[in-house]
Amino acid sequence: MPSLPIPMISALVLGFMFIRILVVDRRIGPLAVLLALCALQGLIISLAQHYMVAGAFFVQPITASMIPPMAWVAFQSTAVRKLEVRDALHLLVPLGMIAVMLGRPFLLDTFLPALFVGYGGMIVWSAMQGADALPRMRLETGEVPGIIWQVIGWTFVASALSDALIVVAQVMGAGYLQPWIVSIYSTGTLVLIGVLTLSGALDNSTSEAEEETTVARKADAQDMQVMEQLERYMQTAKPFLNPDLTMTQLSRRIQVPVKQLSGAINRVTGENVSRYINAARIAAAQKALLAGDTVTAAMFGSGFNTKSNFNREFLRISGVSPSEWLNSQKPK
């Protein structure tokens, strides 16, 4: 056994990430809490599986049961809507875990994996609905937040496999491998989730999304009116130059509900809101390039924060890189 167990190392790394997200990024919220829980779980696994601390064995499944509901609350509050009172109901999950441990301990090996699979599945399903289903995310990030949340969700689902590996090890007479399976598999899961929560793509505005239903239909006069209103605002205020722009901010500025705005853009242009806004940003960047700006200056001046997002969207819209596009505009 190493002098410093793998879960303890992961706990230290995640603890450092937690301090960084608070002190450097100043991001205090559900994502920070999720990161703290991952760090705490790494510490408890180390105490239970490697240092054989009796109390840690009892605490380990309880703290583990806190992580999936916290991830769901973090997903909802950063990507979909603001925190609500109903989110407190998820605090009942660890209480349910305690009840199982005290009253039906034989259900423990079913209850905990079911939590990870259930919450992970909900995150994956919600994140797969596209960028417009995540109205609190910055539009500049495009599909990236949805992909990150899908990875987090699938990580929860995959974590249930560790229990299957433990059963296989016991059947094969290799029960001594259980601490290593728990340590390595759990550590990998915790570190992956921790690293993903640090992504700047998950940083968002705290604006509130409105709840309405979008009906699949063709564009009508109301949609055209919304688009005319939006186009006027885009031309006068140029909100797309703000790299932190979100769909909820845009809907509030033109006083059109999020779902109605998203539906109008989709039905009239055939694009989602993120692509619509980024198209305006690319047009601004192209204008800046023709005026003599460098690629970097054009990128920041048009509302992009990262070179990867800028290059991706430029290639999607123009079919070539910024430098290639600029060369093609020169007189021959």
pLDDT at 99: 92
- Per-residue pLDDT of 129-183, as tens digits, reads 776 677 777 776 767 788 888 888 888 887 777 666 666 766 777 666 666 666 6
CA angle 171, 165, 156 (to 5 degrees): 155
Lowest mean pLDDT among 8-12, 44-48, 146-150: 8-12
Q: How far is CA 251 from the centre of its chain?
A: 22
Beta bridge partners of 204: 137
For residue 131, which of 121, 140, 120 has the smallest C-alpha distance? 140
pLDDT at 213: 38
> What is the DSSP track for 162-203?
HHHHHHHHHHTT-GGGHHHHHHHHHHHHHHHHHHHHT-GGG-
Beta bridge partners of 302: none
Residues 6+ apart with CB under 8 A from 117: 156, 157, 160
Highest mean pLDDT among 110-114, 195-199, 294-298: 294-298
Bigger pLDDT: 77 vs 279: 279
Mean pLDDT of 81-95: 86
Let me know: does 81 contact 162? Beta carbons within 8 Å.
Answer: no
One-letter amino acid for residue 300 of the chain: F
When pLDDT is cut at 50, 70 and 90, the band that residue 24 belongs to is low
How far apart are alpha carbons 202 and 149 in whole angstroms?
9
- Per-residue pLDDT of 264-281, as tens digits, reads 888 888 888 888 999 999
pLDDT at 302: 93
Instruction: For the full predicted model, state whether its pTM sits above 0.75.
Output: no
How far apart are alpha carbons 104 and 100 in whole angstroms?
5
What Å distances lie between residue 47 and 43, 57, 58, CA to CA?
A: 6, 8, 11
Give me the percent of the chain exceeding a pLDDT of 90: 21
pLDDT at 203: 59
Between the two ends of the chain, the Cα-to-Cα distance in Å is 69
Mean residue pLDDT of the chain comes to: 80
